[in-house]
Amino acid sequence: MKRKLDIVVLSDIHLGTYGCHAKEVLHYLNSIKPKKIILNGDIFDIWQFRKRYFPKSHILVIKKIFSMAAKGTKVYYITGNHDEKLRRFSNTKMGNIYILDKLVLNIDGKRAWFFHGDVFDASIQHTKWIAKLGGWGYDLLIIFNRFMNAILVKLGREKYSLSKKIKNSVKGAVKFISNFEKTATELAIENNFDYVVCGHIHQPQILKVVTPKGNTTYLNSGDWVENLTALEYTNEQWKLYHYQGTKISKQLDIERLDPLNEIPKVFSAFTSKA
């Protein structure tokens, strides 16, 4: 039985990278029936896109999203920094799929502001090549981490997240996350938004913020590289969903697909050079 939800928010799936948990994303999408899906940036990783690596499980995620849209689910694709080429198509509508840079919704009488969040990141805005280099390094770290965890599991020990450890131990990273959340909430309060919903920093969070100027709820959907999280809204309440590693059916991967032929033509247009 699929869970019926009003809104689902996913971000930072990074399709096309080794770190992406596409099978888990697909398993999650197959378990829900939402009225709206908000894809809050970095769904594709166009920065690191390469024709030789786009597994069929990644393609099936794209097909599933198109299928859900065809069956009536409204899909709002908000562009991020890793899929910034889609910004050329902002305000485009294809059936139930909308491509946007930001989104404002009225949810049960409350104003919600959705955007990816890379506009707050100076390293992306001013030194993009450094940010892209960091993206490659992060991908390599995830690959090494998976190899290390496979060994730990065989030894009967718990898995370990290198990226989380680094983020939590480096003062600059902790400060950046704190500043990101502070900036987002201040702007939301200033503009009278009840909810501000972001992605980008891969830190899942639901936080009620109260200041002398007002209050808002900050939400971050996390990612599907290390945290495997989503935001869900139903019965006038937001919840943070954590994927718990349910056994995945081999049927998700059983189709024999040619990645170069099966990627939708629209995606090929997005990834082509301007």
pLDDT in tens, 38-63: 999 999 877 666 666 788 999 999 99
- Residue 259: which H helix or E strand, with range? helix 259-262
**Local confidence band at 271 (pLDDT 50, 70, 90 cut-offs):** very low
Domain range spanning residue 89? Answer: 3-271
Most confident of 44-48, 116-120, 138-142, 218-222: 218-222
pLDDT of residue 255: 36
> 81-94, pLDDT tens digit by residue?
878 888 888 899 99
Residue 66 contacts residue 266 (beta carbons within 8 Å) = no
Lowest mean pLDDT among 30-39, 106-115, 126-135: 126-135
CATH code where residue 162 lies: 3.60.21.10
Q: What are the residues whose beta carbons fall under 8 Å from the beta carbon of 151, sequence distance 6 or more?
A: none
Q: Which residues of 166-204 are buried (b: 16+ CB within 10 A; e: fewer)?
A: ebeeeeeeeebbeebbeebbbebbeeebbbbbbbbbbbb
Q: How much is the pTM?
A: 0.75
CB 60 within 8 A of CB 252: yes
Q: Is the pLDDT of residue 258 over 80?
A: no
* Number of structural domains the chain divides into: 1
CA angle 222, 133, 77 (to 5 degrees): 40
Is residue 30 over pLDDT 90? yes
Residue 168 has pLDDT above 70, yes or no: no
Mean pLDDT of 167-172: 48
Q: Which of 122-126, 137-141, 226-230 shows the lowest mean pLDDT across its residues? A: 122-126
* pLDDT at residue 193, as a whole number: 97
How high is the mean pLDDT of the chain? Answer: 79
| For residues 187-199, average pLDDT | 96
Q: Is 60 exceeded by the pLDDT of residue 191?
A: yes
Phi, psi angles (nearest 5°) of residue 34: -90, 155
User: How many Å apart are CA 158 and CA 46, to the nearest integer?
Assistant: 33
